[in-house]
Structure 1
Amino acid sequence: MRTIAEINEKIIRQRAVVLTTEELKARVVEIGVTKAAKEVDVITTGTFEPMESSGAIINLGHTDPPIKIRRCWLDGVPAYSGFGAVDLYLGASCAVETTDGEEVRERGGGHVIEDLIAGKAIHVKAQGQVTDCYPRASFETTVTRETINQFYLFNPRNLYQNFIVGVNGGDRPLFTYLGPLQPRLGNAVYSNPGAISPLLNDPDLQLVGIGTRIFLGGGIGYVAWEGTQHFPLQKRLANRTPIGPSATLALIGDAKQMDAHWVRGCYFKSYGPSLMLGVGVPLPVLNEQVVEHCAVQDKDLVAPIVDFSIPRRVRPTFGLVSYAQLKSGKIAIEGKAVRSAPLASLFFSRQVALELKKWIEAGTFTLTEPVSPIPMERSFLPQDRRTDF
């Protein structure tokens, strides 16, 4: 048994033994769970994938005379302004608006967030509600991350513990949040990186809670809350890993300290903009069970194959498939060989885990005790009530 305080003492003295989750899995094959648990202090996990339920809180600072912003665009992307006078929330999947109100979906909030993190100048256009406190009616300028006050990511839903495999059993191409799905089962796309994914290595969220310090976009972030659509009651295998979409986390972190290498705007053809984001979670080796969970292999993890050609909330599935099969590049569906490819970057996911490992080994990143656990009894409520107007 170890404590986080004991592990942190070793980290500060640069004596902690840190392995990425892939290195840990290989080590368990060599020496077993018990010996690995005695040897290793921290296991690092990582993912780099689209996370469209993300966005940035921005405080522009007050103008003179002051303005109470009620409509605002950052490089043409609408930002929500319905709270503080110069506070904004920029959604990653919100698209550029043209002057006539139409959307230009190839660029959106994720691209603006990336550009701000990279130090580029962003055009601001704002319209205000004129009041005695805020007499200014409009404002236009350019800003950078250095000329605004707060700029931090607050992401309502990141780090799906597991997700689906998308296919298309119909007769025409479909353009989805997983990318293009070719007709007649022409391809299969999966988004979770499998055995290297953070939450699949901590299936019951015993190590991750509110206040957990993480790698977020190349800077330090924290788990802020359970994520939206958090569904820990998903059916699970004997190894405790879920068979489909399950737990999620809400994350927060200072974007001024982030690196655009790990935060990238992206675009899905005929669907819209999103944000590719690198997230790494350190798992303290407090006991043997931690290593046992982290030893899980792709062959021991499954995801449901979902047919997007049926336009319903609950779509039919073609059963479950292992991540080992998905990563082989080809899966079988009703006797047909179907090409499979990841939406997440497996290369960058590994790089996130390696980068976090370097931080911990250098003594610059210590672990935190969660201040509260993530609830594990949340059900998933659909919106089935029909109201006709």
Structure 2
Amino acid sequence: MVDFREEVRTWLNEHAPTEPRPRADAAAMREFDLAWQREQWEGGWAGIAWPDEYGGRGSSLVQQLIWHEEYARAGLPSMDACFVGLNHAGPTLIAQATEEQKSFHLPRILRGQDIWCQGFSEPGAGSDLASLSTKAELDGDHFVVTGQKIWTSFAMVADYQELLVRTTRGGTKHEGITWLICDMSSPGIDVRPIRTMDGQAEFCEVFYDEVRVPVSNVVGERDAGWRVAMSTLSFERGTAFTASQVQLARLVEQLIEIARDCTGPDGRRPAIADEELACRLATARAEVSALRAMTYAGVCRNLTAVQPGPEGSMLKLYYADMAKRVARLAMDVLGADGLRSTPLRERLVDWSGYYLHSFGASIGGGTSEIQRNIIGDRVLGLPR
């Protein structure tokens, strides 16, 4: 795998974008992300986890781990506007879609032609996704969709959406849900960006006012959408947080570097000379090593597993809590300088933005409370 790692590192060094990724301008961000996806496609690196028969790289789990590590080490974002198409919608189509659906959508995702967003969460159905109420009523050869989704990343620039709707009432709440391909240009869709406390607006509310979706856009079977949505687990295979933990490790090392140069709380010595800050920095470095060990253990476990087990919730919980601690540590090391962007290795780091954004780590992808419930119930076997 040494040769593979060197191949990945060399290609990324030669082809990764050199300009910063736009975030304030949605149109510019879309074009940037699609251009980078096209670059990966042309270089043979698109769809690192996708089977080769569907245009992907078909890489082994260990090769995926290496790719994510080197990708993060190159300073590239772990999540951009192409994330949902590559990691959720695309794999679900591979596992559950018709050949006609696959032949149209899969090449467009890999080649950087389309962006997908995810229409799962609702104001009353976030962590309890099966409580969703957005309805789709059958009208001839179309479903008529009415309702609302929220926290839909990149909906303002998306071409298509993986949309969960309720098509039948009665039975358990997991029954009667259908997975639809929704064209985001359809009449009746209203997308409203949500500005978060870090100043960004990548999340959106999406409202559906009698939106017509062809029955031919059902993926899997009608009323079996819960099973279809869960099928993406077989493609994630434990590498989901690899890039995030590598980026966190880089950030800790950067903070140690900064602490040697900036003035500490006493106004006289470097921050790293402060005993409390030095201890917290050392602890953060040790915790990053523990996080990396947990990641590797999870990958090894999944090499022989049919699908990932509940142990992944331990990694998610540990990462979320640590990300917030490191963000707070950064603000304590920098003091007042943390309120403005700081030069670091020929680029600016928005430390205050990172601090504000860190709170979302314990919400996105399943709240920390939900992760603790999963660990207690499915890993430790505690009573409900």
Of structures 1 and 2, the one with the larger relative CO (CA 8 A, separation 6+) is 1
| TM-score normalised to structure 2 length | 0.26
Structure that is richer in strand per residue? 1
Structure that is richer in helix per residue? 2
